[in-house]
C-alpha cells in the first residue's frame, strides 16, 4: 500500500508539544422558528498528540455539536458557526472549502457514532464500505484495498473476515457492526479519531469489549482520540484528560486523576460523586436537581447558576465566568467558575461536597442537590 497522503499540507509544521487539535472560543448558533439557540458559547478544548481527551456532559450540552463542527458536518442552515477557531495540525479548519476539508475528513480525522447503522449503508457489502475510505484517500489498487480491509476486520476482532467482506450490515449484530465501523474509521490510520458515544447503543458486555478494543487500537495506531460520552465511568477507562461541558460551555478541563481527586467546578464535583464506589454500600447516587437552561436567551452569567450548590450571588448571575487556571492551582487544570476569581477573599479549592462552606452569601435556595 502506498504511503502517499493526499490531504493538505499544514501551513506550518507543528512541534510535538503543540496540540494536534485546538478548539478555541467556538461559538455555534442554531436558527430555529422559536429563536436562536446558542448551542456553543465559546468552547475551548485542546487534544495533544497520542492523547485521549474525554468530553463529558449531559444531553444537549454541546458535545456532539463540537464534534460535528470539527468534522465540518454541521448542517447549515440551521447551524451557523458565528465565532472561534478549530486548528488541526497547523491548519485552520474553518477556513477550508468543502473540497479541502474532504481531503482531511475520512483520512486524517475520522469519526465513529453511537449508532453504527448511521455509518453503514444497508445496501452495500461490508467489504465495499471498509475499503471505500482507502480508495478515496490513497493511491491504492482495488486488490491492495481488499487485502487491507480484511486485515482491519481481523484487527478489530472479527472472525472469518473474508466471508464478512461479502455480507451486508443487517447480517451482523450491533457489536459486530460497531467493530466494522471502527475498522472503517481506522483503515486510513487517522491521526485523530472522534468517537461520539460509541458504546451507548450497545449492551453492557459488548460495551466493555468495544472499550477494550478502542483502548488497544488507540495504542497500536498511536492516534489521538476525542472520546465523547455522558458516562464518566466509561470515559475514565480510556481518557488521559477530560473536558467537562455544561450548556454549551466547557466548565473544567484537567487530567483524569485530578478530576477524581480535586475537581474544582461544582458541576464536576457532583459528576465525580456520581460514580458508584466499590467500597461500602450506597442506596442512592447523588443527582443534580433542576434542568439545563434553555439555550434560546440563555442566562447572561454562569449557565449553571440555577442549579449550583455553591452559588455565590450576583456575580454568578451577571458575569460569565471564563475558563482559566486559578492562580492558586499548580498545573494546567482550568475551570470556569467565580469561586476561583482571584479577588475572592477565601482560598479555593474547597473539599468536594462542601457546598455550605463556600457559599457565604448563599440563602440556601440553591443547595438542593440530591444526596448532598
Ligand atoms: Fe457558576 Fe457561581 Fe456556581 Fe461557580 S459558584 S458554578 S460561577 S453559579
Paired with 324 in beta bridges are 335
Residue 285 has pLDDT above 70, yes or no: no
> Ligand 1, closest atom to CA 308?
3
Average pLDDT taken over every residue of the chain: 84
Residue 356 has pLDDT above 80, yes or no: no
Residue 11 has pLDDT above 60, yes or no: no
Return the half-sphere exposure (C-beta side, CA atoms, 13 A cut-off) of residue 366: 21
Q: Domain residues for 131?
A: 21-239
Q: For 35-53, give the DSSP string.
A: EEEEEEEEEEEEE-TT-EE
Of residues 343 and 3, which shows the higher confidence score? 343
pLDDT of residue 350: 47
349 upstream amide cis, omega within 30 of 0: yes
Residues 98 and 72 sit within 8 Å (Cβ to Cβ)? yes
Residues 198 and 237 sit within 8 Å (Cβ to Cβ)? no
Ligand 1: centre distance to CA 310 (Å): 6
Asked if residue 161 and residue 101 are part of one domain, the reply reads yes
Q: What is the mean pLDDT of residues 1-29?
A: 66
Residue 358 has pLDDT above 50, yes or no: no
Asked if residue 286 and residue 214 are part of one domain, the reply reads no
Tell me how many domains the chain contains: 2
Ligand 1: centre distance to CA 302 (Å): 6
Q: What is the mean pLDDT of residues 29-44?
A: 93
Asked if residue 345 and residue 230 are part of one domain, the reply reads no
Contacts of 365 (CB under 8 A, 6+ apart): none
Distance CA 161, CA 155 (A): 10
Asked if residue 150 and residue 36 are part of one domain, the reply reads yes
Asked if residue 129 and residue 42 are part of one domain, the reply reads yes
Asked if residue 181 and residue 51 are part of one domain, the reply reads yes
Asked if residue 347 and residue 275 are part of one domain, the reply reads yes
Ligand 1 pocket check for 321: Cβ under 6 Å: yes
Asked if residue 212 and residue 324 are part of one domain, the reply reads no
Asked if residue 291 and residue 161 are part of one domain, the reply reads no
Ligand 1: centre distance to CA 174 (Å): 41
Paired with 26 in beta bridges are 43
Q: Name the 3-class secondary structure at 158.
A: coil
The DSSP H or E segment spanning 24 is strand 21-32
Ligand 1: centre distance to CA 337 (Å): 5
Ligand 1 pocket check for 316: Cβ under 6 Å: yes
The DSSP H or E segment spanning 355 is helix 355-358
CA distances (Å), 206 to each of 99, 171, 179, 249, 275, in order?
37, 17, 10, 32, 21
pLDDT of residue 7: 43
Q: What is the mean pLDDT of residues 1-26?
A: 63
Q: Whose CA is nearest to atom 5 of ligand 1?
A: 311
Whether 6 maps to a domain, the answer reads no
CA distances (Å), 341 to each of 258, 268, 347, in order?
20, 17, 10
Whether 155 maps to a domain, the answer reads yes
Contacts of 204 (CB under 8 A, 6+ apart): none
Asked if residue 268 and residue 233 are part of one domain, the reply reads no
Asked if residue 53 and residue 180 are part of one domain, the reply reads yes
What is the pTM (predicted TM-score) of this model?
A: 0.83
pLDDT of residue 142: 94
Paired with 244 in beta bridges are 56, 252
Instruction: Tell which of 239, 271, 287 closes a domain.
Output: 239
Rounded (10°) CA dihedral 3, 72, 235, 222 = 10
Q: What is the mean pLDDT of residues 125-151?
A: 94
Q: For 171-190, what is each residue's pLDDT tens digit?
A: 998 889 989 999 999 999 99
Residues 89 and 108 sit within 8 Å (Cβ to Cβ)? yes
Range of lowest pLDDT (56-65, 196-205, 303-312): 196-205
Whether 336 maps to a domain, the answer reads yes
The sheet with strand 224-229 has its strands ordered as: 109-112, 192-196, 224-229, 52-56, 241-246, 249-255, 334-335
C-alpha cell belonging to residue 265: 467546578
Pocket-testing residue among 311, 315, 354, ligand 1, by greatest number of atoms within 8 A of Cβ? 311
pLDDT of residue 16: 58
pLDDT of residue 361: 39
Range of lowest pLDDT (15-19, 34-38, 204-208, 309-313): 15-19
Residue 191 has pLDDT above 60, yes or no: yes
Residues 147 and 178 sit within 8 Å (Cβ to Cβ)? no
Paired with 296 in beta bridges are 37
Ligand 1: centre distance to CA 305 (Å): 6
pLDDT of residue 282: 61
Whether 99 maps to a domain, the answer reads yes
Distance CA 88, CA 260 (A): 29
Strands 21-32 and 35-47: antiparallel
Distance CA 342, CA 228 (A): 32
Amino acid at each position: 500500500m502506498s504511503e502517499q497522503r493526499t490531504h493538505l499540507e499544514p501551513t506550518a509544521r507543528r512541534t510535538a508539544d503543540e496540540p494536534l487539535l485546538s478548539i478555541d472560543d467556538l461559538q455555534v448558533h442554531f436558527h430555529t422558528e422559536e429563536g436562536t439557540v446558542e448551542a456553543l458559547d465559546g468552547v475551548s478544548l485542546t487534544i495533544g498528540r497520542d492523547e485521549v481527551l474525554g468530553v463529558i456532559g449531559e444531553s444537549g450540552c454541546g458535545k456532539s455539536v463540537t464534534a460535528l463542527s470539527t468534522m465540518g458536518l454541521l448542517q447549515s442552515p440551521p447551524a451557523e458557526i458565528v465565532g472561534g477557531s478549530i486548528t488541526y495540525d497547523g491548519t485552520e479548519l474553518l477556513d477550508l472549502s468543502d473540497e479541502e476539508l474532504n481531503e482531511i475528513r475520512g483520512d486524517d480525522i475520522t469519526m465513529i457514532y453511537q449508532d453504527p447503522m448511521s455509518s453503514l449503508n444497508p445496501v452495500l457489502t461490508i467489504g465495499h464500505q471498509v475499503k471505500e475510505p482507502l480508495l478515496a484517500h490513497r493511491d491504492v489498487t482495488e486488490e491492495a484495498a481488499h487485502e487491507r480491509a480484511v486485515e482491519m476486520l481481523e484487527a478489530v476482532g472479527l472472525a472469518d473476515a473474508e466471508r464478512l467482506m461479502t455480507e451486508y450490515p443487517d447480517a451482523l449484530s450491533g457489536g459486530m457492526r460497531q467493530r466494522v465501523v471502527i475498522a472503517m474509521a481506522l483503515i486510513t490510520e487517522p491521526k485523530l479519531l472522534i468517537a461520539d458515544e460509541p458504546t451507548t447503543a450497545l449492551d453492557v458486555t459488548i460495551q466493555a469489549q468495544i472499550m477494550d478494543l478502542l483502548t488497544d487500537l488507540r495504542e497500536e495506531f498511536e492516534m489521538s482520540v476525542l472520546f465523547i460520552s455522558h458516562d464518566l465511568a466509561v470515559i475514565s477507562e480510556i481518557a488521559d484528560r477530560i473536558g467537562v461541558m455544561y450548556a454549551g460551555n466547557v466548565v473544567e478541563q484537567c487530567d483524569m486523576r485530578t478530576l477524581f481527586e480535586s475537581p474544582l467546578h461544582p458541576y464536576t464535583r457532583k459528576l465525580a460523586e456520581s460514580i458508584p464506589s466499590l467500597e461500602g454500600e450506597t442506596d442512592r447516587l447523588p443527582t443534580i436537581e433542576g434542568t439545563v437552561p434553555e439555550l434560546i436567551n440563555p442566562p447572561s452569567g454562569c449557565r449553571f447558576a440555577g442549579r449550583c450548590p455553591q452559588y455565590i450571588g450576583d456575580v454568578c448571575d451577571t458575569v460569565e465566568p471564563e475558563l482559566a487556571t486559578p492562580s492558586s492551582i499548580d498545573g494546567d487544570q482550568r475551570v470556569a467558575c467565580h469561586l476561583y476569581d482571584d479577588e475572592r477573599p477565601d482560598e479555593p479549592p474547597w473539599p468536594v461536597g462542601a457546598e455550605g462552606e463556600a457559599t457565604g452569601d448563599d440563602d440556601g435556595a440553591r443547595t438542593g442537590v440530591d444526596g448532598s
